[in-house]
Structure 1
Amino acid sequence: MGVIRFIPVTEINDPLTLSIGLSGGSGTGKTYSALLMARGIAEVVTGRKGAPIGFVDTENRRALHYKQDFPEMVHFDMQAVNDAGEMVGFGPERWIEVIDAAEAAKLAVLVVDSFSHAWEGVGGVLDLHATTLDRLTRGDDSKKDARSQLAWAEVKPRYRRLIDRIVRAKTNIIICTRAKPVMQDFKTKQNARPTKTRMKDVPWDPASDGDLMFEMTTMVILDPSAKGCPVHQIKVADQFKALLDPSRPMSADTGRAMAEWAMGRGEGRNQKAVLDEVRIEARKGREAMSAWWKANPQHRALAATIMPELQELAEAAERRAQQATSDNPFADLPPAEGGAEGDSMTPEQRAEYEAAIANMREAS
């Protein structure tokens, strides 16, 4: 058994790597956005313009449509059939080989488009589960429900090894996945069946597993209404909140800034500190948050990126304070929205508060 050594962080100077997930329907700008971000990342990592961008293409060489715009692209046409005409599929082990090859080639960044083949393609996870289930049931459909988990027990470890390989990659990876529209509830206009990969207010369902999505450094879903914009933010750390503006397309500058953060440079750390600070004030209530807002005009634009969260924190603080002064310990907390039963604010107070929030948004 090897010797376990804990290393002081002051001795660790290797840059971190990024794993960025872009999901979206057809025509949302996944491929072009990924290439732009990859360009910025490669330039920062290598210190030179025109550094190679690795590209794994499972979409019938669709990335070659952009070869004039990105001459630095080095392309791998990944197909389900090899040169000998044999079916090789898109199983987990094959993707591990791809990452191994990218590292061996010393690529600063690798774009995978589309990784959905690893999940739902020929030889992908869902296909492996189906074939394993057929083997376990010997074609007896009546046994499939009972043995489905046994099939997953065989397949999931192989997929988890792939996810672990992505997380531990020594090259930066941008993973593109397809997304499909989700059925909306007619009354609430939200998703009828939220899951760990299907958030209630995001009308798209990525063709991938939650294990992948939440292992990413950043995971966003693009929308046809705003091509290239990180509209639906599934996982965005504080250091990237200001950078990933839902109203602004991602660019090479986005990649550069993220790579700077990974190398221990840039403004990400300071921005996280600002957001932590305003959250602390919001947890004290509306008055404390408003005082912070007035005292920090230079940080308003950054704070506005998490405004819904701040409003919820401030409202929750007000409700806790109201409950603490109640004579009834079993009283329900008053609702956050005005006009409902139990709201302690007068109409004038509610109007004044909503006007203040509107002014905050306008100032940002």
Structure 2
Amino acid sequence: MSVINIRKAEREGARLVIVLPGISGSGKTHTALLLAYGLANYDASKVGFLDAENRRGSLYAEALREADPPTDERFLIGDLYAPFSPQRYIDSILAFQEAGVEVLVIDSGSHEWEGQGGCEDIANAGNPRMPNWKLAKAEHKRFMNTLLQCDMHIILCLRAREKVEIKTVNGKREVVPIGVQPVTEKNVLFEATASLMMWNEGRNQEVIKCPGELRGILGRGQGYITASDGAALRAWVDGAKQLDRTIEHARNSLRTVTEQGTDALIKAWRALPEATRKAINAEGTCPDEFKRAAQEFDALRERDSERQTDGLNDELGIGEAAE
């Protein structure tokens, strides 16, 4: 059973993840909506907004009336409240995918890292003096995998603020300012397709990461990012080899289901129309790469369960040590 499908390299089926960190008032939310509108081919009904900022996203309900071209069509919105665990973000993202959204704005993703019930709380849930960052980062990786593998373009807004580091200078420990930094896990900005720190109500951007092909769209640094820039991104994506949208949606949905294990994958596969199954695999069977991934996730959960049981036994003094 093969782990991967090896094929000739072609630019096809691209899904973008764009990260927009910024301090309050930096223009990240308005910019994200305009960018999403253009990226959705100016179809607001295909734009989703996951609001983790206590319904602040609803204040932008009429924002696309100011876009070029303007529209009275409303984007879709869903409110996410605490606890802000990675799993609740994952479930919310997949709910928008099931709703047929093509471009999803998440505002803000910072709560997944340091909000109530987020990764910092997960790490400190046991003994705060010995935080379990291994568990917290494993949960965060699942969140990132969902962003990268889901069947939507993602625009992730992040909070940012002044941060400091404790460094040893001339033998003394000193607090050293490191400037405005995004509130998230340190690798998020570099796992994305492009990352831009927003400034001055959206008029300026500090390019943190941007591939050369997109520099003319997202890498200017000066001037507002508009819906036309989103449309230019869509044209770049659509300039690749065109794939059947229905088939790709089914394929990408199966890929996200593999994390739930073999039983969930089998159920999702059987729920597809026969013609779709054969388009994905001419033999009409679920591709080996999906089955192998689901099996690995099952094995991972079993190992985690065994470790948790062993840890509990150790705490209770049960097992060989107690004997």
What does residue 73 of structure 1 align with?
75
What does residue 58 of structure 2 align with?
64
Specify the structure having the higher radius of gyration (Cα): 1
Q: CA deviation at 1:181?
A: 2.3
CA 253–158 in structure 1, closer or farther in 2 if over 3 Å, else same: same
The answer to whether the aligner puts 1:241 opposite 2:215 as a matched pair is yes
* Amino acid across the alignment from 1:25: I
What does residue 34 of structure 1 align with?
32
- For residues 9 and 45 of structure 2, the distance between their equivalents in structure 1, rounded to whole angstroms, comes to 30
Q: After TM superposition, where is structure 1 displaced by more than 3 Å over at least 4 residues in a row? A: 1-5, 48-51, 191-194
- For residues 137 and 3 of structure 2, the distance between their equivalents in structure 1, rounded to whole angstroms, comes to 31
What does residue 314 of structure 2 align with?
none
Q: Secondary structure at the match of 2:157?
A: strand
The answer to whether the aligner puts 1:7 opposite 2:7 as a matched pair is yes
CA 124–4 in structure 1, closer or farther in 2 if over 3 Å, else same: closer
What does residue 115 of structure 1 align with?
109
What does residue 325 of structure 1 align with?
none
CA contact (8 A) 1:163 1:211 kept: no
CA 246–41 in structure 1, closer or farther in 2 if over 3 Å, else same: same
What does residue 201 of structure 2 align with?
227
- For residues 235 and 20 of structure 1, the distance between their equivalents in structure 2, rounded to whole angstroms, comes to 10
The answer to whether the aligner puts 1:133 opposite 2:114 as a matched pair is no
TM-score by length of 1: 0.57
* Amino acid across the alignment from 1:33: T
CA contact (8 A) 2:46 2:100 kept: no
The residue correspondences of 1:169-318 to structure 2 (distance < 5 A) are 169-182=150-163, 192=176, 194=178, 203-223=179-199, 226-244=200-218, 245-264=220-239
Q: CA deviation at 1:239?
A: 1.6
- For residues 241 and 133 of structure 1, the distance between their equivalents in structure 2, rounded to whole angstroms, comes to 46
CA contact (8 A) 1:39 1:51 kept: no
* Amino acid across the alignment from 1:212: V
Q: Secondary structure at the match of 1:163?
A: helix
What does residue 134 of structure 2 align with?
153
Q: CA deviation at 1:182?
A: 3.9
- For residues 133 and 163 of structure 2, the distance between their equivalents in structure 1, rounded to whole angstroms, comes to 25
- For these two proteins, the number of residue pairs brought into alignment is 222
* Amino acid across the alignment from 1:17: R
- For residues 223 and 21 of structure 2, the distance between their equivalents in structure 1, rounded to whole angstroms, comes to 16
What does residue 163 of structure 1 align with?
144
Q: CA deviation at 1:237?
A: 1.4
Q: Secondary structure at the match of 1:59?
A: coil
* Amino acid across the alignment from 1:107: V
The superposition leaves residues 98-131 of structure 1 with CA deviations (integer Å, 9 ceiling, x where unpaired) of 1211211121100000111101101001111111
Structure 2 unaligned residues grouped into runs of 5+: 65-72, 166-174, 241-323
- For residues 152 and 126 of structure 2, the distance between their equivalents in structure 1, rounded to whole angstroms, comes to 33
The residue correspondences of 1:302-341 to structure 2 (distance < 5 A) are none
Q: CA deviation at 1:211?
A: 2.3
CA 5–205 in structure 1, closer or farther in 2 if over 3 Å, else same: closer
Q: CA deviation at 1:183?
A: 5.6
What does residue 103 of structure 1 align with?
97
- For residues 211 and 3 of structure 1, the distance between their equivalents in structure 2, rounded to whole angstroms, comes to 26
The answer to whether the aligner puts 1:54 opposite 2:53 as a matched pair is no
* Amino acid across the alignment from 1:165: T
TM-score by length of 2: 0.64
CA 216–3 in structure 1, closer or farther in 2 if over 3 Å, else same: closer
- For residues 163 and 224 of structure 2, the distance between their equivalents in structure 1, rounded to whole angstroms, comes to 23
CA 6–132 in structure 1, closer or farther in 2 if over 3 Å, else same: same
